[in-house]
Structure 1
Amino acid sequence: MYEYPLTFSLTFDTDWVPQFILDDVLSLLQDAGLPGTFFCTSPYAPFPATMEAGLHPNFLNGSTMGSSEEECLAFIRRLYPQAIGSRSHCYYWHNRLRNLFLAQGLRYDSSQLLPLQPNLRPHAVFGLTHFPVWYSDGVHMQLGADCATFSPAGLEDPGLKVLLFHPLHIYLNSRSVQESKTLLGGCEVPAVTETLRAKRRSGQGMRTLFLAALKHIRESGAPCRRLCDLL
Structure 2
Amino acid sequence: MTRMRTGRISLAVAAFALTAAACSGADQRAGSDDAGSVREFTEAAGKGLSLDYDPLASPRDAVRTADLVVSGTLAEVTDGIRFSGPAEQTAAFDDTYVTFVIEVEQVLAGTPGKSTTDTVHVAVSTGAGAGPERLSALNPQAKVVAVLDEVTTWRPGPRVTVQPPAGAETLYAAYTDGLWLQGGNDRQMYGISADRSALKPAWAGVDTVEEFAASLTRAAGDE
TM-score computed with the length of structure 1 as normaliser = 0.27
Task: Tell me which protein shows more helix as a share of its residues.
Answer: 1
TM-score computed with the length of structure 2 as normaliser = 0.28
Task: Tell me which protein shows more strand as a share of its residues.
Answer: 2
